[in-house]
Amino acid sequence: MRTAPTILHLDMDAFFAQAEQASKPSLRGKAVVVGGLGPRGVVATASYEARVFGVHSAMPMAQARRLAPNAAYLVPRFGFYRSISEQVMQLLRELSPLVEPLSLDEAFVDLEAGGAAWDEASARLAGAELRAGIRAVTGLTGSVGLAASKMLAKIASERAKPDGLVLIEPGTERDLLGPLSVRTLPGVGPATGDHLRRAGIHTVDELAEAGEDELVRLLGKAHGHALHAMALAHDERPVVAEREAKSVSVEDTYDIDIHDRLRVGLEVQRLADRCVRRLRGSGLSGRTIVLKVRRYDFSTLTRSETLRGPTDDPAVVREAAARLLDSVDTTGGVRLLGVGVSGLADYTQEDLFAQAAGAGAVSPAEERVDEPAQEQAAGPAERHWSAGHDVRHAEHGHGWVQGSGVGRVTVRFETPDSEPGRVRTFRVDDPALQPADPLPLVRRRPADPAGTPTVVGGEAGGRG
């Protein structure tokens, strides 16, 4: 393990909720909860204002509503979050070529590899400058942990939350880890934690004292050896810049089980198109098409078909997914559907024997990947408006959906750079109201003497 705290872990603070607050002036400083809003929905992210009431990620949305009835409840806008994430990851790559993204809002950085840090002082300076850069570019905050290993850097960033920086000095690791719960260590989930608890092991100190032989007996050779090393603060895992994707997939969980076989088929086609868009966005193609079906009784079935060569043709993927669906009994209802592509390659070789009739171009309406299933392919009278999603009105301009029901939709008209806006209500089928793309967050990087705007979440000058 290295002797200087030159591994950095960045974790954006309540990322989805914070991004929503940045783009919606009326929500700044307010409790915001992002996630699935249906009966089976769960919380993806809660703002710190919402956490005061006990709301946290992975909580059932119904429970969150009971705890914080006055919070703003929004459906995620993953395309928008992804665009902000790309800006943040670019800042990390300016520090080092070794950046290991873990998710849209979390990554490890090897500061030593990029020459950005070599000792405690330079590491602390790099972390502080990164936090300032993220705030300048996006207006958002992130917490930074610095340590001599990935495990400790992640623990440090958790202690830094929200909007802070914590550096663990080399030589102090054992004292820091000792009293912590075993669940703090990577690889100790609920099942392993319960197993250790039954053996009388609750803290990292107790884990170290148990000895490697006992941990191997309890957990197996690989897991026991790894956990004993981590309990002694030994973590030699390197920061890995590239993680090869093994598959690309999308799935939807439905608030109400789908019983209509025709509707199930249409959903599979829609998911196939979304999967191809994600595939193409990564510059990939794939040979194996996978269908996932979770039925009314929670039983989950997967079916796959391998083509003669890799493809990124939506028509080919749709046809293969449809054939796979033919082999699945959906009697009783379907609660989840998913379509994936594996056997990835960075080139295509179209399957000459595919039953698809045409090239299957994706329509502009289908490009709105952030819309829920109900909005896809729906006429004006069937239109479903998701809370938090962007709209544009012919007269009032850009806004976002506060809520909808009983044939009405309520919209607040504001932009990221405006004052909190006015609220108006319309018929759900009002032709003057249309779905829109998110507006960009425009910030200025302090290091740029010209003050050239940096655009987050869209293109500069796109919309007022």
* Residues with a known catalytic role: 106
CA-wise closest residue to 157 among 5, 3, 1, 2: 5
The angle at the Cα of 414, spanning 459 to 363, to the nearest 5 degrees, equals 50
Query: Taking a C-beta distance cutoff of 8 angstroms, is the pair 336, 293 a contact?
Result: yes
Neighbours of 70 (CB within 10 A): 9
- DSSP string spanning 224-254? HHHHHHHHTT---PPP-S-----EEEEEEEE
Residue type, 452: T
Q: Which residues contact 286 (CB under 8 A, 6 or more apart)?
A: 247, 248, 279, 310, 311, 312, 341, 342, 343, 344, 345
Residue type, 351: D
Query: Taking a C-beta distance cutoff of 8 angstroms, is the pair 436, 398 a contact?
Result: yes
Q: How far is CA 176 from CA 188, 210, 304, 363, in A?
A: 18, 18, 48, 55
Copy the structure tokens of residue 190.
Answer: 């609920």
- The SS3 of residue 35 is strand
End-to-end CA distance of the chain: 51
Query: Taking a C-beta distance cutoff of 8 angstroms, is the pair 309, 350 a contact?
Result: yes
Please tell me what DSSP assigns to residue 62: H
- Phi, psi dihedral angles at 150 (to 5 degrees): -65, -45
Copy the structure tokens of residue 306.
Answer: 């391998």
Q: Is the dihedral of CA 59, 61, 63, 64 positive or negative?
A: positive
